[in-house]
Structures are given as structure tokens and as C-alpha cells.
Amino acid sequence: MSALGLDLTKNLSYFTIPAVFISCLAPHSYAIATASLKVFDNAQPRGFLDAVAKSETLDKPTKARIMRAEGASANGFETIGLYAAAVVAANTAGVDTKFLNFATLGYVASRYAFLYTYIILGENRKLSTLRSLIWGSGIALIMSLFIKAGYAISK
């Protein structure tokens, strides 16, 4: 058992896909809640960013945070397919459970750290490199799953 109560001797990798999906959806939900339903129009959801930009009720820092949250959400949806494919490839190839758990739980941690640095710390431009490093570490974990799968299947 881990400190979080997880049995790391069992393969937890497939459970991380919903956790990553939540990390994609949560920033969008945060953006809507921050902007309020007066700005978000569910009948025209694609116009949300334009409505935020034109809103006279939101101050500039709030608008910027909403824009960053939407960017973080889009980034997650852009990479979740690659992540899910890596998880399936690694499982299909029979990659070691210990490594699967390390890489997939590490990726989940990187996504949530990315969200925090992008949305909350993002107003400090000097920290943008940290955000990029966190994103890069997550992508490296995805690629490691594919590489391990390649090695496992070629044996």
C-alpha cells in the first residue's frame, strides 16, 4: 500500500485515464464558474472566449486566468488520445506493472502540476518555463510507455 492507500502491486494504469480526462475537463469548468453563466452561453459554447474578452464585468486578471484555464483544457484534450494509446500499448505489450504505475501516476501528477502552473501561477511570465518543463516531463512519460511497449513486444 502506498501513502495514498493505493496498492501499487496491482496495475492501476487504466484507472489513470479517467483521472486525466478530469484534468482536461476541470479547467473548462473552472473557467465557466469564474466567468459566470452571464458570460458563458451554453447555446454558443464556442463563443466563450470571445464573450470573456468582450465582457465588461470581468477584470483583466480574471479574463487572463479564464483564458489560461481554457488553454490548459485544450492542451489536455489535445494530448489525452496520445496518453490513452500509450497506456493501451504498454498494457498490450505486457510492460512491467511497477513501471506502468510509475509512468501513469507520474503523468497524472504532471497534468495536475501543469494545470496549477498554467492557470494559477501563469500570471507570472517568469514561471512559463516551469510550466513547459512540467508539460515536457509528462510527454516524456508518455513516450517512455511507447518505448517500453516497443521493447516488450520485440522480445
> What are the boundaries of each domain within the chain?
12-154
Cα(56)–Cα(114) distance, integer angstroms:
29
Cα(92)–Cα(22) distance, integer angstroms:
24
pLDDT digits (tens, 9 = 90+) for 96-122: 999 999 999 999 999 999 999 999 998
pLDDT at 12 over 60: yes
Assigned C-alpha cell, 29:
469548468
Q: What number is the average pLDDT over the span 119-128?
A: 91
pTM of the predicted structure, to 2 decimals: 0.91
Residues in the chain: 155
pLDDT digits (tens, 9 = 90+) for 45-102: 899 999 999 999 999 999 999 999 999 999 999 999 999 999 999 999 999 999 999 9
CATH architecture of 12-154: Up-down Bundle (1.20)
Assigned C-alpha cell, 42:
451554453
Q: Which of 144, 122, 141 is nearest to 131 (CA)?
A: 122
φ, ψ of residue 120 to 5 degrees: the values are: -85, -50
